[in-house]
Structure 1
Amino acid sequence: MIESKALLDALQLRGIGLYTGVPDSLLSSFCAYVDDHAEAGRHIIAANEGNAVAIACGHHMATGQTSLVYLQNSGLGNMINPLTSLADAEVYRIPMLLVIGWRGEPGVHDEPQHVKQGRITKGQLDLLEIPYVELDASSDVEQVVQTAFDAISREGSPAAILVHKGAFVPYKTRRKLDALSSMAREEALGHLFDVMGADDLVVSTTGKTSREVFELRSARSEPQGDFLTVGGMGHTASIALGVAKGAPSRRVVCIDGDGSALMHMGAMAIIGQEKPVNLVHVLLNNGAHESVGGQPTVGGRIDFGGIAKACGYEAYHLAASPEDIAREWAGMADVQGPVLLEVRITIGSRSDLGRPTSTPEQNKQSFMAKASRVEE
């Protein structure tokens, strides 16, 4: 396996000026090492992958340096526009190195939402005409990095390193994040379920949140009728808006996360414009990308309440304890939505946390059956 230090040293030797991207579980050790050891001010955890490409473009134009953009392969979709219309050799010809975690690699077991993306990742890079080299646990780091930089030099535009599962020696960040609350996410979800109605339609965000929602329903012997957004990070609130518009007589509860909300924050502006009176937007905020390694977000340092109100939400409530959840939920009873309930939580989850045992299609069908029963 590869030491993250070896890769970072090889990149710094070749003059990488800035590191930016969205954390990925396969790259978590490398991302954590970069966060701990990159020169101050040279690492930016971006809101989304397209955001990272744009940052890299701007930094190159100001300095002439090549930046590194890291991501999970599912984030390629967020990058296609800036890659093809800005960085491409036929447009501005902006060099950058993409380091891509290869989830869903053919022949390697992974979750359903990663399988197709893994199968088409090489094809996407070929279609984008982005040269790439693969990195696995047995790779010669110097050779891989040099090959990628040779491609950047030839084309003057992006090249990629495609990283296999298990490539890096495990590394844990030394950064200590301030806890926003002492309440764990699973505990918060349980108290939210206590105050929700049995007929509420729940849409939960990707990562550990949906895994905990599924397991809590099983532990409470409650039907599995929630929509678990296992893919499409950042789009949970938009899905919930669509549900709220389609089922106006039902209360729709969107269980979002700070990383997800930040990824496509424009969704909040559209929710505020549309003003679905039946939508409660719950934002579980631990200030971290916990599901992919615990790297920090800016969620702990921004005013989500002010943002929500500026976007047109009718009300904002804040909770940081079980008692807060009960009190603030009761206080929302007579308020027409959209309402934002920010629930501040701590980082952490059970080591034995499982995954949904139903398929995504079964999950969709269960959700649609629950939605249709009362709407008919």
Structure 2
Amino acid sequence: MTRHIFTHPVMQRVCSFAIRRMSSDAKQMKLSPAFFHQCVTDIGVNFFTGVPDSLLSDYCAYVQDNVPETDHIIACNEGNAVGLAAGYHLATGHPGLVYLQNSGLGNTVNPLMSLTSSKVYSIPLLLLIGWRGQPGVKDEPQHFAQGQITPDMLNLMDIPCRILPKDETAVKKVIQEADQHFKTKKSPFSILVEASTFSQYKLPQLQSNFPLLREEALNIVVEILDDTDIIVATTGKLSRELFEYREAKREGHEKEFLTVGSMGHASSIALGIAKFQPHRKVVCLDGDGAALMHLGAFSTVGQRAPSNFKHVIFNNGCHDSVGGQPTEASHHDSFSFGGVALACGYRKTLVAQTTEELVTCTRQLVETPGPVLLEIKLSVGSRSNLGRPTRTPIQNKSDFMEHIGSA
């Protein structure tokens, strides 16, 4: 009798609807950041470090809000975070958790392979990785190549890789598997996090007393630059705002190279252009989180000392594109980009906070032989309707190279 119920046309439609509903419910199900955090602390993971990612923003916000500052460090780059977790293990005997976007895996390869590997020092740590560019999932073009190879990279490094489930029972099993791996293999274990895995957890917005927002400051700076100046813009919302500035002015986008990926490398790209286009000013529009990620680039700029190199850092003290978590540059009383730049050999540094200061300082930036740095101290925030570039990276590169005569 039962066998015939599911062959009846009406029952088939009912079952089909039920299956679709279950599939829809599964997609809508989300994992509580608090539950996941409890699972990892239950196995003795009590130190957290990394670079925030949009897919991990809710969990990163939970950690920022609930873990003591002594047990949580937002690192400048992902390799630094692995080093911090390794130091934590050496000091305590416990594994730490390193969170990152998969685009940052490249920064971790050296310490993972030459420090934490079971073939070297055998140091356990839990890698929580936002899986941008996951095959079959719509994403930005800079994530496609990395997304395709992320599981293979982890496999080649002999690091077990699991996808974080949304079901709590399944989550516990994955964390228990990681715990067993730490006890037996004493090496890294990784968990990939897909889009929309965590339920929402919002941080209170960082407060500052600076009057300008990044987009306002960007518009002021670009208005003052000459049409012949070359612009290299950093990854994140700054490049998106620059693209929309040109759209609003009904201008083309050939005057700037938009560094949509490779966070932290805009100043090095700009330096490479400045060395080989010596008769044109090259202006790097940088962010505080990006500049911190590869701060060593300042030394190369300062010591190569191209007179046409202009460096502008838009410092709102946070990782604005991935959840607003603070950077070390938010400590305005004790941290100075200008101090670092001068120590590395920059000829002059400037700081602006108000519109009037920014206009004056940008004009000085343009007129002063480089390398020269301008730090703009900003409040946090951006438009909710901020769009994304509609030109592909290849189109941007072609337009840019044709504009500067290198195509």
What TM-score results when the alignment is normalised by the length of structure 1? 0.97
Paired AA for residue 365 in structure 1: S
Q: 1:292 and 2:292 equivalent?
A: no
Q: Distance in 2 between matches of 1:181 and 1:31?
A: 25
Paired AA for residue 185 in structure 1: R
SS of residue paired to 1:152: helix
Match for 2:400 among 344, 364, 367? 367
Structure 2 matches for 1:321-360, cutoff 5 A?
Answer: 321-360=354-393
Corresponding residue for residue 213 of structure 1: 242
Match for 1:245 among 272, 275, 280? 275
Q: Distance in 1 between matches of 2:165 and 2:279?
A: 52
Q: Percent identity?
A: 50
Match for 2:73 among 26, 44, 52? 44
CA distances 1:185-225 after superposition (whole Å, capped 9, x unpaired): 11111101110001110000001010111010110122202
**Does the 8 Å contact 1:256/1:282 carry over to 2?**
yes
**Does the 8 Å contact 1:136/1:164 carry over to 2?**
no
Please tell me the root mean square deviation across aligned C-alpha atoms, in Å. Answer: 1.3
Corresponding residue for residue 154 of structure 2: 125
**Does the 8 Å contact 1:135/1:162 carry over to 2?**
yes
Higher gyration radius (CA): 2
Corresponding residue for residue 197 of structure 1: 226
**Does the 8 Å contact 2:225/2:366 carry over to 1?**
no
SS of residue paired to 2:227: coil
Q: Distance in 2 between matches of 1:40 and 1:371?
A: 47
Match for 1:274 among 304, 309, 313? 304
- Name the CA shift for 1:332/1:132 in 2 (closer, same or farther; >3 Å): closer
Q: Distance in 2 between matches of 1:95 and 1:19?
A: 13
Corresponding residue for residue 351 of structure 2: 318
Q: Distance in 2 between matches of 1:16 and 1:157?
A: 14
Q: Distance in 2 between matches of 1:178 and 1:275?
A: 36
CA distances 1:286-337 after superposition (whole Å, capped 9, x unpaired): 0000101000001122111111100100000111122112111222344210
Extract unaligned runs of 5+ from structure 2.
Answer: 1-29
Q: Could you tell me how far 1:355 is from its partner in structure 2?
A: 0.5
Paired AA for residue 19 in structure 1: F
Match for 2:111 among 74, 82, 95? 82
Number of residue equivalences: 373
Corresponding residue for residue 265 of structure 2: 235
Q: Distance in 1 between matches of 2:97 and 2:367?
A: 49
**Does the 8 Å contact 1:137/1:166 carry over to 2?**
no
What TM-score results when the alignment is normalised by the length of structure 2? 0.90
Q: Could you tell me how far 1:166 is from its partner in structure 2?
A: 0.6
SS of residue paired to 1:98: strand
Match for 2:203 among 173, 190, 210? 173
Q: Could you tell me how far 1:154 is from its partner in structure 2?
A: 2.5
Q: Could you tell me how far 1:16 is from its partner in structure 2?
A: 0.8
Larger deviation, residues 316-325 vs 356-365:
316-325
Q: 1:2 and 2:35 equivalent?
A: no
- Name the CA shift for 1:201/1:24 in 2 (closer, same or farther; >3 Å): same
Corresponding residue for residue 91 of structure 2: 62
Corresponding residue for residue 13 of structure 2: none
Extract unaligned runs of 5+ from structure 1.
Answer: none
SS of residue paired to 2:64: helix
Paired AA for residue 200 in structure 2: P
Larger deviation, residues 325-334 vs 10-19:
325-334
Corresponding residue for residue 211 of structure 2: 182
Match for 2:59 among 30, 44, 47? 30
SS of residue paired to 2:55: coil
Q: Distance in 1 between matches of 2:203 and 2:336?
A: 26
